[in-house]
Structure 1
Amino acid sequence: MRVGALAWSSSLLSSGSRDKSILHHDIRAHEDYVSKLTGHKSEVCGLKWSYDNRQLASGGNDNRVRWLSLCPCIVGMHCYKDFAVCNLAWSKNVNELVSTHGYSQNQIIVWRYPTMSKLATLTGHTYRVLYLAISPDGQTIVTGAGDETLRFWNVFPSPKSQSSDSLSCVGATSYARSYIR
């Protein structure tokens, strides 16, 4: 089985695979896995546990962003039907999620969780957005793509200044910062 994504949550390691499933492996247990999730229609390419370890977001080549919540009052799936999901990241400062996408738009989308309303669409890469990381302060994301560029985006507010003012900018050059708030 080919593994397409990995995500840690305390002693639980989640893996997404080409067979469309997500396996939860408890590293303290002897079993191969302790639970299995299904629902994607194609390979699972992105997995990310939230910072509080209460939600697991998954994305796949079926163009869907799904999430599992350990809170019984929030269960859901959001279908984004245009482009394959390459990567996911949760904000540690606000209830928002970032997804990166491939052909043909090569874009980054910021979602409000749990409503999954689209807050911003970031463009600028000319090829599939394959890599995504969040800065230690939780405000900036960096994306890398097949166009051999890194782009820095100031996406999330600081924990102290959670302003709702939004600006939408397009990253024009490599190593440039773009702000959406």
Structure 2
Amino acid sequence: MMRSLQVGGGPRLVLESHTAAVKGLAWCPYRSDVLASGGGTADRCIKLWDTCSGRMIHSVCTGNQVSSLIWGQHHQELYSGHGFTDNEVVVWSYPKMQRIQTLSYHQDRILSMELSPDGNRLASIGADENLCLWKIDAASPRPRTAVSASPSFGSRFTIR
């Protein structure tokens, strides 16, 4: 559901469809009018929005709390961080929003993620006090299959 507000300094648009707290948010670098949002434990959905019209473009149930969202720089992909059920990073194809890869290592929920400036590495931090660095395959646009992977740098970092 969408509400359009034209009151003074208030929001121009309110997008309402999640059934839990929105915990992840990311603007699409390929289309400036697309925003991705991810819902918490009771929602577990990633929603893509057309911010010009307020229309929901796509909704996909992930089966897990969505805690973080980041768009890829070299491929049209969306990375989602999850927690509570499966503590993993999932790679989604855009615009179809099909799961194409799962990155698993965290023992507790993922709290946040960030992409390196060159777009070739993804960092994820978890409630397990670990910082994982993942190598993003930016060399070739070949399709990937859904597989489990460990951090490509082979290290587990503890944050204290």
- Length-normalised TM-score, structure 1: 0.72
Alpha-carbon separation, structure 2, partners of 1:76 and 1:38: 14
The alpha-carbon distance between structure 1 residues 76 and 166, as it changes in their structure 2 partners (threshold 3 A), is closer
What pairs with 1:84-123 in structure 2 (closer than 5 Å)? 84-123=65-104
Alpha-carbon separation, structure 2, partners of 1:48 and 1:24: 21
Q: Which runs of 5 or more structure 1 residues have no equivalent in the other structure? A: 1-20, 176-181
Q: Residue type matched to 2:114 in 1? A: A
Work out whether 1:59 is the aligned partner of 2:28: no
Deviation at 1:54, TM superposition (A): 2.9
The alpha-carbon distance between structure 1 residues 165 and 50, as it changes in their structure 2 partners (threshold 3 A), is closer
- The aligned counterpart of 1:11 is none
- The aligned counterpart of 1:17 is none
Q: Which runs of 5 or more structure 2 residues have no equivalent in the other structure? A: none
Structure 1 residues 58-100: Cα deviation after superposition (integer angstroms, max 9, x where no partner): 001110000113588x9211122x2100000001221100000
- The aligned counterpart of 1:133 is 114
Q: Residue type matched to 1:77 in 2? A: S
Q: Percent same amino acid at aligned positions?
A: 28
Across the two proteins, how many residue pairs are aligned to each other?
A: 148
Alpha-carbon separation, structure 2, partners of 1:120 and 1:145: 19
The alpha-carbon distance between structure 1 residues 153 and 23, as it changes in their structure 2 partners (threshold 3 A), is farther
Alpha-carbon separation, structure 2, partners of 1:146 and 1:42: 20
Moved over 6 A (4+): 21-25
Work out whether 1:32 is the aligned partner of 2:10: yes
Bigger relative CO (Cα 8 Å, ≥ 6 apart) = 2
Deviation at 1:163, TM superposition (A): 3.6
Deviation at 1:128, TM superposition (A): 0.5
Question: Which of these residues, 170, 173, 179, is aligned with residue 150 of structure 2?
Answer: 170
- The aligned counterpart of 1:16 is none
CA RMSD between the two structures: 2.9
CA contact (8 A) 1:23 1:33 kept: no
Structure 1 residues 92-127: Cα deviation after superposition (integer angstroms, max 9, x where no partner): 221100000001211110000111111101100001
